Structure 1
Amino acid sequence: MTQGMEELGRGTLLWKLSREVLGKDSTDYIPTGEHPETDLLFLKLNLLLDRGDFNKAEDMLFEAAEEELPGTLELAVDVYARLNQLPEAALQAGNYSKEEIREGLLDLMEQFGIRL
């Protein structure tokens, strides 16, 4: 189990998605080369997250979901888990919040037809 998973706790929505829907013991997206476009998006999203451009990262994530890019749900779990681990001050500096993490995740779940 990764550190991120421990910090999120086993009862969270992110953990349930990872475990029950994706069948994983981790929230991490691991680029494998199986979905090159998604792997490239992963790199772009990491850059945006590192720069604190959380809203742009989320917009790109939703665009990928709309385009039905393979692996988008797994990537979304990774992104939201990383955002969830950030302190509130870091999120606020990027004009983002914990509530937006929850809302974004719920919106994506609805888009994918997932109910937990």
Structure 2
Amino acid sequence: MNIEKLIESLGKALGKLIFNKQEKSSEKFNIEQMTSTDLFKIFFNKLFHSSDYNKAEDLIFKELEENNSQEIYDISLEFYNSLLQKSDLDLNNNNFSREEIYQGLNDLKKYNKKFITN
């Protein structure tokens, strides 16, 4: 298998996984059309699903600094809400604490100001 086909296969699999994209037989996933947000989602989901919460959190704030969009903000909220559902044992086993969750939610407030409308 050549590298181009391998990348194409990876792109299709990631597209299905990340974007709930149903592939049509004639449809191709073009990695060149991926945005920085698409790449962020891929890396973020990998970190989250491998329980590397600290790196996932670092990636969130890096992305918010570079791309403070509603979509990234929403992903950030979903991340912390998902962590709140985890047991203390799970969090502690993965080097994360409830205090870090609350601090992260508090830190998100400065990014939310952009999206508040009066």
Shared fold (TM-score, shorter chain, > 0.5): yes
Structure 2 distance, partners of 1:31, 1:51, is: 18
Higher Cα radius of gyration: 2
Q: Give the Å deviation of 1:39.
A: 3.1
Structure 1 match to 2:47: 48
SS at match of 1:113: helix
> TM-score with structure 1 length normalisation?
0.61
The RMSD of aligned alpha carbons is: 2.6
Query: Which sits farther off after the overlay, 67-76 or 100-109?
Result: 67-76
| In structure 2, C-alpha distance between the alignment counterparts of 1:80 and 1:73, rounded to whole Å | 11
Residue correspondences, number: 85
Runs of 4+ in 1 over 4 A off after TM superposition: none
Cα-to-partner distance string for 1:2-21 (whole Å, 9 max, x where unaligned): xxxxxxxxxxxxxxxxxxxx
Letter matched to residue 78 of structure 1: E
Aligned-pair identity (%): 33
Is the contact made by 2:63 and 2:72 (CA closer than 8 Å) also made in structure 1? yes
Structure 1: gaps spanning 5 or more residues: 1-29
Structure-2 separation of matches of 1:67 and 1:111 = 11
Structure of greater relative contact order (alpha carbons < 8 Å, 6+ residues apart): 1
Contact 1:65 1:72 in 2 (8 A): yes
Q: Which runs of 5+ in 2 are unaligned?
A: 1-17, 21-33
> What CA distance in whole angstroms lies between the structure 2 residues aligned with 1:42 and 1:74?
12
TM-score, length basis structure 2: 0.60
